[in-house]
Structure 1
């Protein structure tokens, strides 16, 4: 099977359809489906901007981004906490070496 430009989109559609079908058949795919919708909105917004539908594209990207940020807020909070801890430890090490 040769992959060309349209093959990637076809494989993506097959994968997404398979995940939705598995979810409907009772094999829950977890939170993956919940992240799929905002990512699809962002992708459609980018496609809208690419096809000179700037306002609709920006609206879709904004809504999709906000929904994705809300869904990833727990992960973002963990990353911020780890960053604060690392920054605090490095600050303590710098002060202890100066004395």
Structure 2
């Protein structure tokens, strides 16, 4: 069986529709799907914005890309904050250790 672009898109749409339907009918799966979609949509916006910039639609592409980045940063703030704190601690320790040495 030969796969062309339309069949691949049709299978993708059917799969997304099934996931949405399962998310609506099952409360536990619905929570999981809402969490996945809350990260997937900003990533899709970033990809579409990048594609828009590459194809020549600079203004719309940059707007969508920046909005996607801001939304994703907001979603990942629970991870970014602690990583930034750990990075600052490691950098401070590095500065204290290298203070006595002259380069």
Please report the TM-score for the alignment, with normalisation by the length of structure 2: 0.66
1:55 aligns with 2:59: yes
Please list every run of 5 or more consecutive structure 2 residues that lacks an aligned counterpart in the other structure.
none
Please list every run of 5 or more consecutive structure 1 residues that lacks an aligned counterpart in the other structure.
none
1:76 aligns with 2:76: no
Q: Secondary structure at the match of 2:56?
A: coil
Using the TM superposition, name which of 35-44 and 85-94 deviates more: 85-94
Question: Could you tell me which of 92, 98, 101 is aligned with 1:88?
Answer: 92
User: CA 1:84–1:25 in structure 2 vs 1: closer, same or farther (change >3 Å)?
Assistant: same
Deviation at 1:35?
0.8
CA contact (8 A) 1:46 1:57 kept: yes
User: CA 1:2–1:76 in structure 2 vs 1: closer, same or farther (change >3 Å)?
Assistant: farther
CA distance in 1 between partners of 2:92 and 2:86 (Å): 10
CA contact (8 A) 1:19 1:33 kept: no
Please report the TM-score for the alignment, with normalisation by the length of structure 1: 0.68
User: CA 1:91–1:50 in structure 2 vs 1: closer, same or farther (change >3 Å)?
Assistant: closer
User: CA 1:94–1:49 in structure 2 vs 1: closer, same or farther (change >3 Å)?
Assistant: closer
Number of residue-to-residue matches in the alignment: 93
Deviation at 1:92?
3.3
Residues 27-66 of structure 1: matches in 2 within 5 Å? 27=29, 28-29=31-32, 31-66=35-70
